[in-house]
Amino acid sequence: MNSTETYQRGNDYEFFIRRAFKCERGKHGAETQTFKILLDAEYGSSDTPKDYDKRLEKVKGYLAKAVAKFLSRKPTQAEKEGLERMAPRIQRAGSAAELSKFLEFGLDLTIRYRDL
């Protein structure tokens, strides 16, 4: 994965959180760079941060809170089922690359919230 792709995946992370909380960049962990750093380390584009595991757990926590926020916003049945399937998978994920798959799914699932 090249730098452009890791940047896009970082944007997916930021947009998912911003969509959940209707917030600006930097709130609730919504920061592209937070996720991009992890992906760059995984794909060898940069050195692995000494606190990689701690950062990954923090990202998983932010995503779990975003999922919980979506669930509190009266989702449709399909959204609810998808988010409920997504939540445990986020917690079990062992890498940012694995999380990025769930982010794509989550963004598609929550598309109706994109302009809120």
pLDDT tens across 62-94, in order? 999 999 999 999 999 999 999 999 999 999 999
Angle at 108 between CA 77 and CA 103, to 5 degrees: 105
Regarding pTM above 0.75, the answer is yes
What is residue 90's predicted lDDT score, i.e. its pLDDT?
A: 97
Q: How many CB atoms lie under 10 A from the CB of residue 113?
A: 17
pLDDT tens across 30-44, in order? 999 999 999 998 988
Q: How confident is the model at residue 100 (pLDDT cuts 50, 70, 90)?
A: very high
Q: How many CB atoms lie under 10 A from the CB of residue 25?
A: 12
Q: How confident is the model at residue 2 (pLDDT cuts 50, 70, 90)?
A: confident
What is residue 1's predicted lDDT score, i.e. its pLDDT?
A: 80
- Label residue 17 exposed, middle or buried (CB < 10 Å: 0-12, 13-18, 19+): buried
What is residue 43's predicted lDDT score, i.e. its pLDDT?
A: 86
Instruction: Flag whether pLDDT at 102 surpasses 80.
Output: yes
pLDDT tens across 47-62, in order? 777 899 999 999 999 9
